[in-house]
Amino acid sequence: MTAASNVKIRDYWAFTSVTLKRCLQLGPTMAKSKFEYVREFETDDTCLPHCWVVVRLDGRNFHRFSEKHNFAKPNDGRALHLMTKCAQTVMEELEDIAIAYGQSDEYSFVFKRKSNWFKRRASKFMTLVASQFASSFVFYWPDYFEDQPLLYPPGFDGRVVLYPNNQTLKDYLSWRQADCHINNLYNTVFWALVQQSGLTPVQAQERLQGTLAADKNEILFSEFNINYNNEPPVCRKGTVLIWQKVGDVTTKEVKLPAEMEGRKVAVTRTRTKPVPLHCDIIGDAFWKEHPEILDEDS
Amino acid sequence: MTAASNVKIRDYWAFTSVTLKRCLQLGPTMAKSKFEYVREFETDDTCLPHCWVVVRLDGRNFHRFSEKHNFAKPNDGRALHLMTKCAQTVMEELEDIAIAYGQSDEYSFVFKRKSNWFKRRASKFMTLVASQFASSFVFYWPDYFEDQPLLYPPGFDGRVVLYPNNQTLKDYLSWRQADCHINNLYNTVFWALVQQSGLTPVQAQERLQGTLAADKNEILFSEFNINYNNEPPVCRKGTVLIWQKVGDVTTKEVKLPAEMEGRKVAVTRTRTKPVPLHCDIIGDAFWKEHPEILDEDS
Amino acid sequence: MTAASNVKIRDYWAFTSVTLKRCLQLGPTMAKSKFEYVREFETDDTCLPHCWVVVRLDGRNFHRFSEKHNFAKPNDGRALHLMTKCAQTVMEELEDIAIAYGQSDEYSFVFKRKSNWFKRRASKFMTLVASQFASSFVFYWPDYFEDQPLLYPPGFDGRVVLYPNNQTLKDYLSWRQADCHINNLYNTVFWALVQQSGLTPVQAQERLQGTLAADKNEILFSEFNINYNNEPPVCRKGTVLIWQKVGDVTTKEVKLPAEMEGRKVAVTRTRTKPVPLHCDIIGDAFWKEHPEILDEDS
Amino acid sequence: MTAASNVKIRDYWAFTSVTLKRCLQLGPTMAKSKFEYVREFETDDTCLPHCWVVVRLDGRNFHRFSEKHNFAKPNDGRALHLMTKCAQTVMEELEDIAIAYGQSDEYSFVFKRKSNWFKRRASKFMTLVASQFASSFVFYWPDYFEDQPLLYPPGFDGRVVLYPNNQTLKDYLSWRQADCHINNLYNTVFWALVQQSGLTPVQAQERLQGTLAADKNEILFSEFNINYNNEPPVCRKGTVLIWQKVGDVTTKEVKLPAEMEGRKVAVTRTRTKPVPLHCDIIGDAFWKEHPEILDEDS
């Protein structure tokens, strides 16, 4: 934070070790060198090459967090959109993320099969994702929760999982989306029973015990006049983030012929940004429509 | 985030898998089960038992961050105190941290040798430390940088290193404090040359090339009338965080005899809190004074 | 080795732990239980699912071994065939090996992508391959080295490497065969210079320094009348072991009509065995001819 | 095996890669270079420094092996002594083994805490132990089984376990010796009931179900007049191998005064060898008697 700032020292560590080496040879500071051996206890956690690297984050104790911050049940739109804003920030600030998928209080980030970011060290991947997501969560909170101050800074746990080919990666993402569906259907009925029919949570739970998806759809329709398929896609499908070209219309000064000098001109500049979708990713259609995501050579 | 909140479901996963199992037996939702196999790609990253588990965090691109936020050179007190506030939050929110040490834009957290928090999974340790630190950094920023708004949410990378015994752990902490000393001495002279003598950064760097600690002390004293040993300990030694009993005087209603009914009474309650020290931890004195930190049975 | 042999105790460990548990409750042997905790220091080394698992073995100090046992230079046919016999034994005694490739004092064994042998534990794979290969090497030595007694038992080191798809696996095997070619061409010229031209090893080495494959071929042809392409394929290409159906003609007693009673009948039984080939595996032809080797579903 | 043998090329790999690099620059062999990338799939399995590295071997399918080779029940002395001979060979041929312990068909080898053999790579440790043990088993078999030919080459599986300090290492060895005791006591009674009382194995097993150590001792004493404590220590305690000075009397030509010229002289030369003991290693006495084994600086 306080290193000699204008000097062109690209790698702070390189700088440090040069300093250390200088000291080793000479007198009073020599003693310090004897501690350097502790670096050998660091282990190599390089991810197997040519595998998809997935980092999945989960909110820590978000059950309590959602209660303390009065989240709407069964889904709080503000929270879901804040989560997606954080995921977009992660994709833009970090390197080589090909796609992300989120639902409830979790988000998965998929790094490119041939990414060599930080030499594919698993600890770098997961801590940079976790910390960037968490700092963004606090940073962007006021944009989504205008009337609800943030009471304390939340934590997120993360893990790295490797998938050796496209099929296993797609199955991973399908697993998460299937999980979203199952939980959201359950929660939708559960909260209808509680909020609209006045059941206690225990009664609602008992009512749902042993029911199938079809049963739950039926309850929603016959008792609450809810067609589950008309519920918001963000709740039913979660959020997929993929890179897409976005046309920004910006006003910019450009060099113009003499007679037009001094005027400003609207220029359309295309950029690539992480765009949220709420579509099915279990079937083939999504992957056929976006072949570049899994294309090994992109 | 939106799970049935008043129902006593302690483990969200347990709940999910019960739901899943229910679905497996029965018709249309059966298909989902076929994705469950992807969980087998998760690997076990349990830390070797009976070893000290160190998580070290480093600010990502903090060189740029410190410039953008106009940090004072060579040390910015606000930044150092914010870092320590975040580290205290980590110690309080997470479990089993015995001691922490920080300097510049890095902080190391030492989990107890016999901690079984999250079954000693390395990924849990490092992502929860990184995310809690990062969210706290943004959350507490305004308390330390009143006139300087935070421009963007920063990232922190982390790693886990195991030390099998007290000696190697102490040598690890000594290594970090020695690093603090070397860098701070260098930076102190460097910025004196730049800010007070008007050298360019390149000239200052050339002036210091090949100099020893003694040479740098001499430059500081003869040219700038600075006795390096009188520089602030927080800069020279970094910050050690250990658990200490703190007496809080709180005013509390307590049950009193009838004649004193209704009055409030000042009560001294002792709590244990992470307290910052700026002392030497390389020599034996510190460890002799605080034997409980490394005591295997505590 | 001496466990109660006719009793149906399938799992020796299960048996031990039952015994241990019994002891824990009761008196003098209770103390033993306190050591059980050391099992928690064992780590999980499961190989990532759906990846090819390669175990490569190398002879330890085989330079010295070949000298002590008077191996012919540049290639000793007895040694190469013994190595292949050991590799065949490994393939027959262990499970799920799809293909093996050997050259010089090394052999690589490829376990099927979806093998679940010993729950894919890397340490099981590599130690069982190494020990079975080594015990076979001594066991079958006399069949290949009739006049040359084995002077001491040799060692082999092994490692596990994972390849996530067919392309990387084929490239691994190509790498080994390319290595075979380069070394064998060098050694063929080197030993011709030493054995036939009377150069010292140092002179031969100097002569070859900087030469290309074409140069070495030219030396062999013009000075020794050797067409390298006519050298034995086992030396130029190494040995590939694949499973092939082999017709065994065996004489066997079978149930016959009364009038033929007591006679023996020749029966052709087909079995699958590891068969050695000395062909190119770098080009596509081999893999097209044997698609079942890499077929994910076989 | 067939590398240019008199040339001083210490590292075969180094040699290979020099050859390869030479080829990369130049024409027709260039293609080979494209396979080199597969080496990056190898992972680093360095053992944590300053920890005891234990390699434990177990015979594969030794229940069947012992039957096929007519091992005596409950213990076969020839087999136990062959196992120990193999373990001694491992200790002499490999580096840095401080102590070994064996019982039944298993052997554990403990590498020194500060060993840097093969850069502490776990795969090297376990495969070299497993292969050296297995080749020795076949090699020395005829010395112990004169009338019993070896029918097939056996396998051994191995694993690496790290212990961070002396206490955990001693507890590991105690665990194995306690296991030896429990199994041997059981097997001794079991086989007495089968061999001397004519019980079937199932009857013997039922008879022993639920019995404690004291019960088994009582059965042995009252029914078979066996005092378990007088059973051979090798069976009750297993075998500890430690390095001890051994005086070898060798006949050697030494330089002598003129009047004695040409005569040979018996010389006592001391060497250090792995010596078998059958003593208790659970109590403190053994470790106090041999402090050099665990001494960190030896």
Q: Which amino acid would we find at residue B248? A: D
What is the nearest CA distance from B258 to chain A, expressed in angstroms? 38
Interchain contact, B48 vs D50, CB within 8 Å: no
What part of C 41-100 touches D (C-beta under 8 Å)? 41-43, 57, 59-60, 62-63, 65-67, 71, 73-76, 79, 89, 93-94
pLDDT at A199 over 90: yes
Interchain contact, D48 vs B48, CB within 8 Å: yes
Q: Is residue B125 part of a domain?
A: yes
Interchain contact, C66 vs D2, CB within 8 Å: yes
Beta partners for residue B274, in sequence order: B243
pLDDT given at position A270: 75
- Residue D63, marked binder: yes
Q: Please name the residue of chain D whose CA is at the shortest distance from the CA of residue A48.
A: D41
| CB neighbour class for D129 (10 Å; exposed up to 12, middle 13-18, buried from 19) | buried
- D244 touches D221 (CB < 8 A): no
What is the nearest CA distance from A78 to chain B, expressed in angstroms? 12
Q: Which residues of C touch D73 (CB under 8 A)?
A: 2, 5
Which of C1, C43, C162 is opposite residue D71, by nearest beta carbon? C1
Name the residue range of residue B123's domain.
Answer: 52-239
pLDDT digits (tens, 9 = 90+) for A13-68: 323 333 333 333 333 343 446 999 999 999 999 999 999 999 999 999 999 999 99
Interchain contact, B48 vs D162, CB within 8 Å: yes
Q: Which residues of C touch B41 (CB under 8 A)?
A: 48-50
Q: What is the mean pLDDT of each run of 10 residues along chain D (298 residues)?
A: 36 30 34 83 98 98 97 96 98 98 98 98 98 98 97 98 98 97 96 96 96 96 96 97 83 64 66 96 97 79
pLDDT at C6 over 50: no
- B120 touches B112 (CB < 8 A): no
Interchain contact, D43 vs A44, CB within 8 Å: yes
H/E stretch holding B276 reads strand B265-277
Q: Is residue A8 part of a domain?
A: no
How does residue C10 score in pLDDT terms, banded at 50, 70 and 90? very low
pLDDT digits (tens, 9 = 90+) for D44-68: 999 999 999 999 999 999 999 999 9
Interchain contact, D48 vs B51, CB within 8 Å: yes
Q: Which residues of B touch A16 (CB under 8 A)?
A: 179, 182-183
| Rounded-to-integer distance, Cα A111 and Cα B93, Å | 30
Assess whether the previous peptide bond of A142 is cis (omega < 30° from 0).
no
**What does pLDDT average to over chain C?**
87
Q: What is the CATH number of the domain that holds C132?
A: 3.30.70.3000
pLDDT at C9 over 60: no
Q: Which chains touch D (3 or more CB pairs under 8 A)?
A: A, B, C
pLDDT given at position D231: 96
pLDDT given at position B95: 97
Q: Is residue B290 part of a domain?
A: no
- Residue B62, marked binder: yes
pLDDT at C22 over 70: no
What part of B 159-188 touches D (C-beta under 8 Å)? 162, 164-165, 168
Q: Is residue D253 part of a domain?
A: no
Q: Is residue B96 part of a domain?
A: yes
Q: Which chains touch B (3 or more CB pairs under 8 A)?
A: A, C, D
Interchain contact, A165 vs C164, CB within 8 Å: yes
pLDDT given at position D295: 87
Interchain contact, A2 vs B76, CB within 8 Å: yes
Q: Which residues of C touch B115 (CB under 8 A)?
A: none
pTM: 0.87
pLDDT given at position B1: 42
Q: Is residue D192 part of a domain?
A: yes
Average pLDDT over residues A57-83: 97
pLDDT given at position D248: 67
Share of chain A above pLDDT 70, in %: 81
How does residue C246 score in pLDDT terms, banded at 50, 70 and 90? confident
Interchain contact, B48 vs C43, CB within 8 Å: yes
pLDDT given at position D18: 32
Mean pLDDT lowest for which of A53-62, A139-148, C98-107, D26-35?
D26-35
pLDDT given at position B270: 75
Q: Is residue C91 part of a domain?
A: yes
Residue D48 carries which DSSP code? P
Which stretches of chain B score pLDDT less than 50? Answer: 1-32, 298
Q: Into how many domains does chain B fold?
A: 1
H/E stretch holding D156 reads strand D156-163
Give the strand pairing for C106-111 and C97-103: antiparallel
Conformation bin of residue B110: beta by default, left when phi > 0, alpha when psi is -120 to 50: beta
Residue C198 carries which DSSP code? -
What is the nearest CA distance from C250 to chain D, expressed in angstroms? 22
Q: Is C40 at the interface with chain B, CB within 8 A?
A: yes
pLDDT given at position D80: 98
Q: Which residues of C touch B50 (CB under 8 A)?
A: 41
Looking at this predicted complex, what is its ipTM? 0.86
Q: Which amino acid would we find at residue C189? A: V
Interchain contact, B50 vs D164, CB within 8 Å: yes
- C94 touches C166 (CB < 8 A): no
What is the nearest CA distance from B107 to chain D, expressed in angstroms? 23
Q: Is residue B262 part of a domain?
A: no
pLDDT at C265 over 80: no
